[in-house]
Amino acid sequence: MYNFNSDPRFKNVQPFEKRVWLSSPTMHGEELEYMKDAYETNWMSTVGTNIEELERLIAEKAGVKHAVALSSGTAALHLAVKLAGERLYGMPKAGNGTLAGHKVFCSDMTFSATVNPVAYEGGEAVFIDTEYDAWGMDPIALEKAFQLYPDVKLVVLAHLYGTPAKMDEIRNICDKHGAFIVEDAAESLGAEYKGVKAGKLGDYGIVSFNGNKIITGSSGGAFLTDSRADADKARKWSTQSREAAPWYQHEELGYNYRMSNVIAGVARGQMKYLETHIRQKRAVYERYKEGLCDLPVSMNPMDLQNSAPNFWMSCLLIDAEAMCESVRSERNYLFAHRFGKSCPDEILGALDSFNAEGRPIWKPMHLQSMYRSHAFVTADGDGRGNSNTCIHAQGHADHGADIFNRGLCLPSDNKMTCEEQERIIDIIHRCFE
Ligand SMILES: *Cc1c(COP(=O)(O)O)cnc(C)c1O
């Protein structure tokens, strides 16, 4: 491990006494009241007022007709993908998932929770490369993918770090090919694209209340839809598929995915602070943009022309010419420092050694060993057969690998003070010395 504390570039840099987090929960008080309510009325289960109210509030916030509160965003994605599979392909044969034998186009640069549910349902994810303007699914690559696999009927896409993907282009392509969209808005609650809220931009949407999201229940998630029948079905599946009968009557496979009324109390208390958190996160982003403008770097795109992002995460992208030599294996890295240059692993290491938490960009799914046999489509076509997938210069194939290699997530906690953020900006400057 490189020792930053004995590196003369970091002389006199004091470590943070209290760790500066990437994105930690921010409580306000109401959460505890609603939790106490659940306790005092003894609705300490997966039924109660907090759940009902939270579902109403989420639906209102996202502009959809129905929200179903679930145990996690991942559970919500699983039910969304399963429902989509059943709508598209009908009931599966016994022992099979609803997507058995079918390919599904998926965002490539995202958290694995976006794409794993496709495998839960027996489908085969085909990864679609990323564009540079919003760090979302690249419409050009998506169009290429439909040329290569014209039978595909389902697209699962994520908005990255709070910036909505290029939805007009993606929607047009999907309409042309008769494909259905599951929208993973886990990171982008409160964001908008051309006046429409994230979560309502696909055919089914999901949000997450995981601890590091813009608002949290400590855990939890929700499935979003305008269809009453689909909401009812997701709700039924999430409670072990009990039918309306005097005994435990089961006619379909079920899951234990319902949200707890205690957790719903936390999320319910947070709902009214969504706009406050967005404002604070935006200020963090803008301070970084200003404070780092003299370095050979850019910030993650916040496409303000078409959308109003929620600024969940501030990320940095180092200019290709300003990258020092660095290599990553499956589990480790090496870099050689050069004056005027740096790399994500150096900056993340420096931040960590002074007690601040950053994070690498989501490692693209096509680079994950568990998905190595799955197809990957770039703007140039087949991303697996392309010899320049190893050359990650901007403008070439494999944008995802390029952004992963040159990018990182900065400490983006909304409770970070200006003084703390200035010290972080200073540490980043020293990395380039
Ligand atoms: C957090 C996250 C999820 C999963 O949400 P959980 O509530 O943690 O299960 C899914 N997709 C993306 C893009 C996420 O960031």
Find the CATH number of the domain harbouring 324. Answer: 3.90.1150.10
- Centre of ligand 1 to C-alpha 357, Å, is 19
pLDDT at 386: 56
Ligand 1 site residues (CB inside 6 A) read 72-74, 110-111, 113-114, 158, 184, 186-187, 208, 210, 221
Query: Are the CB atoms for 310 and 96 separated by under 8 Å?
Result: no
Q: Are residues 96 and 233 in the same domain?
A: yes
Residue 317 is part of which domain span?
4-25+274-431
Q: Are residues 80 and 144 in the same domain?
A: yes
pLDDT at 137: 98
- Angstrom distance (rounded) from CA 314 to CA 149: 35
* Residue of the CA atom closest to atom 13 of ligand 1: 111
Atom of ligand 1 minimally distant from the CA of 219: 7
The model's pTM is 0.96
Q: What is the mean pLDDT, run by run of 10 residues, along the chain of 433 residues? A: 89 96 98 98 96 98 98 98 97 92 98 98 98 97 98 98 97 98 98 98 98 98 98 98 96 96 98 98 98 98 91 98 96 95 98 98 98 96 68 65 97 98 98 97
- Angstrom distance (rounded) from CA 429 to CA 433: 7
Q: Are residues 243 and 385 in the same domain?
A: no
Q: Are residues 147 and 199 in the same domain?
A: yes
Cα angle for residues 395, 401, 404 (degrees, 5° grid): 110
- Give the Å distances, CA to CA, from 133 to 1, 130, 304, 374, 382: 35, 9, 10, 25, 22
* Residue of the CA atom closest to atom 14 of ligand 1: 186
Q: Are residues 116 and 144 in the same domain?
A: yes
pLDDT at 5: 86
Last residue of a domain, one of 225, 248, 271: 271
Last residue of a domain, one of 228, 249, 271: 271
Q: Are residues 109 and 174 in the same domain?
A: yes
pLDDT at 393: 45
Q: Are residues 127 and 259 in the same domain?
A: yes
Last residue of a domain, one of 271, 286, 305: 271
pLDDT at 390: 47
* Residue of the CA atom closest to atom 1 of ligand 1: 186
- Centre of ligand 1 to C-alpha 184, Å, is 8
Q: Are residues 16 and 52 in the same domain?
A: no
Residues 72, 73, 78, 82: what is their CA dihedral angle, to the nearest 10 degrees?
120
Q: Are residues 157 and 302 in the same domain?
A: no
Pocket test for ligand 1, best of 70, 208, 238, 361 (most atoms within 8 A of CB): 208
Q: Are residues 321 and 403 in the same domain?
A: yes
- Centre of ligand 1 to C-alpha 168, Å, is 24
Q: Are residues 420 and 280 in the same domain?
A: yes
pLDDT at 396: 54
Q: Are residues 395 and 286 in the same domain?
A: yes
- Centre of ligand 1 to C-alpha 266, Å, is 18
Q: What is the CATH number of the domain that holds 52?
A: 3.40.640.10
Pocket test for ligand 1, best of 77, 187, 224, 310 (most atoms within 8 A of CB): 187
Atom of ligand 1 minimally distant from the CA of 208: 7
Count up the domains in the chain and report the number.
Answer: 2
